Every structure is written in structure tokens, then in C-alpha cells.
Amino acid sequence: MALGKERVCVTGAGGFVGSWVVKLLLSKDYFVHGTVREPSYYLLYVLLSISEIAKIGLCSNSICAKIILFILTLGDEKNAHLYKLEKASENLKLFKADLLDYNSVYSAIVGCSGVFHVASPVPSTIVEVIEPAVKGTLNVLKASVEAKVKRVVFVSSGAAVAFNPSWPKDRVMDETCWSDKEYCRTTKNWYSFAKTEAESEALEYGKRPGLNVVSICPTFIFGPILQSTLNASSMILVKLLKEEGCESVDNRLRMIVDVRDVAEASVLLYEKPEVEGRYICTAYGCRGQELVDKLKSIYPNYIYPTNFTEGGEEIVLTSAKLQNLGWSYRPLEETLFDSIESYKKAGILD
């Protein structure tokens, strides 16, 4: 439990992972600064006015709270799920921040003792990803130093580990394995390139006096969504459940982890004083056909792909280092069930 409402900043607070990190931090009584692209400042003015009305007794606190929630949901749709989180009304403050704008990043971080750098683009070209990922990360780190932050948890990716053709084929990948940036460039895997570059820069930056940086490298992230839109990894599951979405499935092994377990690992890395370096975060290795069979056993009425293509490298990662800190993960069946139920609740699936 955080004492005295310790302040921390979460970049990309409205995203798939960021939302769960914010939710967990609020439940542990942290005061959270969340960066988002477009919070509604006009709504903030309205909300402050309503709060003042409550203070002078013109309406009850419970009625004002309902009005506030309604206005937030109506006028700030992208971030409405954050305002609905327990303790958000008193312990969450959203900041509009562009990672490439240092001043906006610093404004969100100043006053915080910790930062969770979660924000990350999912690009299709090198132009869309390298500058936001690398320069944006350096802005977060520079601001953290200036604001005297004690620790930054950088959310990297298994993609910064897994793409290394020189790694022995029969050896499980651990934290000493880094994706080969030249290989990523050659294969135009810009996401992996950017994550590898940004993580290595972040850990190098953390060697300077006054700032501690640790990184977490989650693999494919499934789990229930809090936000109203689908992220890239959740789209994989949705396509498996929609006949028109996926006629054929790659049967290669995928390393999977639940978004809630990623959030818990991230907070664990912030709170444990002895942590250092990078930590792979993964739970299960699952082939495409096995994933379809598991889904079919839970939801037999959807129409699933029947064609599975073989081939591709077997990439296996281990999270033993993270587990040695006491981290554990939930059953895959729970992850799949909760994921699908959240898609149905959001109206994404029937």
C-alpha cells in the first residue's frame, strides 16, 4: 500500500495496458497523473463548477457525483472508462501530453515520485514509430530526471527480445537476448526496431546518477478491455471468433500474457527496491490451433477457422526472472473468457 497518496505518472493512460495500470494503482491508493492525447478541459471547468455547487449545499454529493459521471461519459468518450474507475474522482488527474513535446510531458510528471512509461504507437511505417518511441521516451526520461523521479518503469515488448536470428535455436530466450536492430530494419519490422531502440536507450539513460530505470517486456497481451476501442493484440482474438475475419490461422507458437498480470508486474517492478535491468513478462506458449480449440470449448457457437498453416520459427521466452520476484499469472482459460466477455459488453462481439 502506498503511504500518503504517493504520486505517480502513467503515460498512455487511456490505452489497453495503461488503463489497467491506472486501475491497479488507484486500488492501491496512489494518486495518478495520466497522460492522454485529448482530455476535455472544458469539461474540467464544468466539473469544478458542479463541485463548488455541492460544497455550498445546492445539491447533494451523490447527485453531483452522478451528474459528473454522466457529463464525463458523454463528453470525453475516449477517456470515459478512466473516470469510471474506483477512486478516480479523487485520485486521478489527466494531462494532455504529446510525447514529442517536452514541456507537456514535464507538466504531467512534475510532482511525481514514479513514472510508468506505457504509451507506444503501433505503426505501419518507420516514420510513424521511431520518433515517438525513441524521442518520446527520451523526453519522458529527461523530464523524470528534472522532476527528481526515483524510478521509471518502461513498458517495452517481447518484440525487443524475440527477433534475433543469431540466438541458438534450442535455447529459451531470456533477458540477455535482444532483437537484432539490423535484422528488424531489413525485415521492416519497425515496431520491434523501435521498441528495441527505445528500451536500450532507456536502460542506458538509467545508468546516470539520480534515476533508476527498469523495463518490462510483455509478449502477446490478451485480457479484458477497459477502453472502448480494440487494440492490436485483442484484434487477434476477435478475428478468430468472426467467420469473415480469419479464414486461415498461422499455427506458430505465440507467447501470451494477461493484461492484468502485466499491470501487476509493472507495479511490482516499481515497488520492489531490489529490481534492476529488464524483465520478460509472459505466461503461456499457445499454438493457433490450440488457441482456437480452447476458445471453442468455452464458446462453441462461434464459427472458427479450420485451416491452419505450419511454418515459422519457434520462439520461446521465459519470465523466470520476474517470477523470482513473486509474480504469478492467472489461468489462460480465465484470460480468454474475460477477454471475450469484455468484447461482448463493448458491443464488439455478439
pLDDT, tens digit (0-9, with 9 covering 90-100), for 190-217: 889 999 999 999 999 998 878 899 999 9
Question: How big is the CA angle at 208 (ends 199 and 214), to the nearest 5 degrees?
Answer: 40
Q: Just list the catalytic residues.
A: 195
Q: Mean pLDDT throughout 67-88?
A: 70
**Per-residue model confidence (pLDDT) at position 241:** 85
Cα separation values, 32 from 121, 136, 324, Å = 22, 20, 28
Does residue 236 register a pLDDT over 90?
A: no
Max mean pLDDT range (44-48, 183-187, 228-232, 265-269): 265-269
Q: Output the furthest CA–CA distance in the chain (Å, rounded).
A: 70
| Prediction pTM value | 0.87
User: How remote is the C-alpha of 270 from its chain's centroid?
Assistant: 15
The predicted pLDDT at position 48 comes to: 43
Cα separation of 64 and 74, whole Å? 15
Give the mean pLDDT of 53-81. 53
What's the confidence (pLDDT) of residue 52?
A: 44
Region of 228 (left: φ > 0; alpha: ψ -120 to 50; beta: rest) is alpha
238-254 pLDDT tens trace:
888 875 556 678 888 99
On average, the pLDDT of the chain sits at: 86
CATH class entry, domain 7-39+76-231+255-283+315-332? alpha beta
In 3D space, the residue among 230, 319, 333, 247 whose CA is nearest the CA of residue 286 turns out to be 333
Q: What is the mean pLDDT of residues 106-120?
A: 95
Instruction: Tell me: pLDDT of 41 over 90.
Output: no
Specify the range with the lowest mean pLDDT, choosing from 98-112, 115-129, 171-185, 255-269. 115-129
Q: What is the pLDDT of residue 181?
A: 95
Domain ranges of the chain: 7-39+76-231+255-283+315-332
